């Protein structure tokens, strides 16, 4: 194959791929209340007694600390865990905590699926996939997956995964896929790239004049032209991914996620803290993981407050929802190895746009079991009902501007929405 043929076929394949994967949906106009979603998964099972669900000994083995109120939001804090204390001190007003979410299992994969999708089906999409598909399918990469956990289901075409070893960067920067010295003669120059782009645009114009002036053909040609622009916009952001083979730690994920949302590359992003939360042998390690998680959440909220929003005069915090949760919690009591095992009750942090912050919703008993909840107020109520993962998921979708009934068969829990 000649070098010019490589360029010709490479450009053609890239354009076709972009056309197939990134073309916007034929219907579904963007909702007026459309919000971006930044979803942080604390994979492994966090101990909610460290911050989100204050408990007391001897019924529950707890770390040092005391119940503290930030408005009506209850948190368990201590000076030895300054990041959690700092987060709630500065951001409680736009943060809600939801406790006592029944997961119905203690298996990691099963509970990850339930908390992420709100269902028991691994073929169902998770919440960021749904929001991206319904509200942002015209963006270059509607759903950006930066961690190693995601359920894209039927919306895989809207998603792009960085991969366990940052493989996505090789698609955006092919030079990282091959030995630079051997492959150098194959790379196109800026002049050659300009020629290819002019050829693609001229071809599209010619096809429009010949048979694409109206109807379906016109829409497909428009899709092609727009896909080229979306691909170029995505490629321009490749520097934020760094080098191939480097696992993106939580802090690096945050940087790229914020840029992707601000630049309208993506509608939603899934992050994974990649921290040690599965503490069967030494539950005291939870302190370090939770500190890093809350430090990351504080950074997210700080930058959302500073960065410009989509509308003039707004900030990203005005149109972005932040969710942080884990698949379940840890048992109330430590085991013989000073660790804690799996506990089928979850909790979540929900912050940002549209959130009725400064409140804690739901609850658990002094022993850590889920309580019945009034779905209207979010308060513990003997006449209420259990809060399941599907109810929480439906409420989050609605908060983001998506009709949950189109995706979930569950009554939404909306108490945390303003």
pLDDT at 184: 64
> Can you give the pTM of this predicted structure?
0.84
Q: What is the mean pLDDT of residues 119-146?
A: 95
CATH 3.40.720.10 residue ranges in the chain? 34-164+247-406
| Residue, of 319 and 208, whose pLDDT is higher | 319
Say which residue, 411 or 173, is predicted with more confidence. Answer: 411
Q: Is 77 within 8 Å of 51 (Cβ atoms)? A: yes
Quote the distance between the C-alpha of residue 411 and its chain's center: 22
The SS3 call for residue 186 is helix
The reported pLDDT for the residue numbered 177 is 67
Q: What tokens does 308 get? A: 């410009």
Q: Report which listed range, 21-35, 155-169, 276-290, is most confident.
A: 276-290
Q: From residue 309, how far is each of 91, 108, 234, 313, 399 by CA, in Å?
A: 18, 36, 19, 8, 17
Report the run of H or E that residue 330 belongs to, with start and end.
strand 329-330
Helices 190-211 and 215-235: crossing angle, nearest 10°? 170
What pLDDT is stored for residue 196 in this prediction? Answer: 79
Overall fold of domain 34-164+247-406: Alkaline Phosphatase, subunit A (3.40.720)
Residues 358 and 71: beta-carbon distance below 8 Å: yes
Q: pLDDT digit string (tens) for 236-288?
A: 776 666 666 677 899 999 999 999 999 999 999 999 999 999 999 999 999 99
* Tens-place pLDDT, residues 329-350: 999 999 999 999 999 999 999 9
- Asked if pLDDT for residue 123 goes beyond 60, the answer is yes
- CB-based contacts of 107, cutoff 8 Å, min separation 6: 342
């Amino acid at each position: 194959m000649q070098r010019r043929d490589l360029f010709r076929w490479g450009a053609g394949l890239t354009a076709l791929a972009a056309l197939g994967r990134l073309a916007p949906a034929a219907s579904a106009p963007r909702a007026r209340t459309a919000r971006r979603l930044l979803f942080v998964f604390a994979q492994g099972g966090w101990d909610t007694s460290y911050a989100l669900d204050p408990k007391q000994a001897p019924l529950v083995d707890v770390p040092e600390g005391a119940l503290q109120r930030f408005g009506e939001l209850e948190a368990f804090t201590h000076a030895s865990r300054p990041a959690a204390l700092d987060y709630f001190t500065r951001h409680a007003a736009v943060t809600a905590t939801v406790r006592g979410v029944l997961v119905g299992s203690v298996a990691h994969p099963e509970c990850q699926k339930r908390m992420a999708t709100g269902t028991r089906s691994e073929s169902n999409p998770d919440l960021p996939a749904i929001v991206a598909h319904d509200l942002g399918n015209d963006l270059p990469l509607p759903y950006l997956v930066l961690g190693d956990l995601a359920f894209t289901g039927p919306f895989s075409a809207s998603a792009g995964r960085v991969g366990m070893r940052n493989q996505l960067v090789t698609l955006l920067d092919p030079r990282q896929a091959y030995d630079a010295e051997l492959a150098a003669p194959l790379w196109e120059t800026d002049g050659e790239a300009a020629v290819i782009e002019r050829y693609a645009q001229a071809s599209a114009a010619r096809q429009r004049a010949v048979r694409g002036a109206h109807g379906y053909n016109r829409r497909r040609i428009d899709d092609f032209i727009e896909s080229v622009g979306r691909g170029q916009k995505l490629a321009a952001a490749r520097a934020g991914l760094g080098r191939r083979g480097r696992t993106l730690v939580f802090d690096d994920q945050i940087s790229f996620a914020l840029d992707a949302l601000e630049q309208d590359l993506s509608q939603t992003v899934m992050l994974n803290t990649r921290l040690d939360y599965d503490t069967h042998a030494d539950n005291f390690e939870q302190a370090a993981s939770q500190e890093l998680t809350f430090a990351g959440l504080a950074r997210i909220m700080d930058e959302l407050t500073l960065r410009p929003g989509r509308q003039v005069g707004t900030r990203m915090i005005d149109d972005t929802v932040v969710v942080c949760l884990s698949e379940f919690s840890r048992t109330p009591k430590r085991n013989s190895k000073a660790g804690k095992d799996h506990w089928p009750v979850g909790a979540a942090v929900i912050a940002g746009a549209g959130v009725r912050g400064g409140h804690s919703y739901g609850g658990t008993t002094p022993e850590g079991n889920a309580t019945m909840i009034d779905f209207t107020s979010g308060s513990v109520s003997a006449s209420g009902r259990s809060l399941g993962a599907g109810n929480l998921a439906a409420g989050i979708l609605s908060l983001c501007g998506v009709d949950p009934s189109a995706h979930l068969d569950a009554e939404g829990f909306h108490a945390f929405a303003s």
